[in-house]
Amino acid sequence: MSRSDKAEVDAKLSEPAVLVLAALNGEAKHGYAIIGDIERETARRLGPGTLYGILARLESAGLIEPLEMEDRGRVPYRITGTGRRVLSEKMASLQRYQITLRSLAAR
């Protein structure tokens, strides 16, 4: 992925898309497991339509990939190396933003 492509992907990552990448960072999961993880951690529920739209965009950008369908007809997804790099950079950016906010609020 070129630098401009990465910047474009990063700029288009919505908050829910970042949450999906974070949910997949530890292990591959199917859609309803992703929804459950995000809901437990944030008290925010993504609807299936929202989630599968995000999964399609992340897959198209090369940030996640589908695995073989499980017995119950569910398709698990896993984060790619590029997805891990983008997530790591996004988390670092958010940490810098938080530090800046705290500094400004302390004045």
How far is Cα 30 from Cα 101, in angstroms, rounded to an integer?
35
Q: Are strands 64-66 and 77-79 parallel, antiparallel or unpaired?
A: antiparallel
pLDDT at residue 73, as a whole number: 85
> Per residue in 43-52, pLDDT tens?
999 999 999 9
* H-only helix segments in the chain: 3-12, 15-24, 31-42, 48-60, 81-105
Residues of the chain with pLDDT under 50: 4, 7
pLDDT at residue 83, as a whole number: 97
pLDDT at residue 71, as a whole number: 79
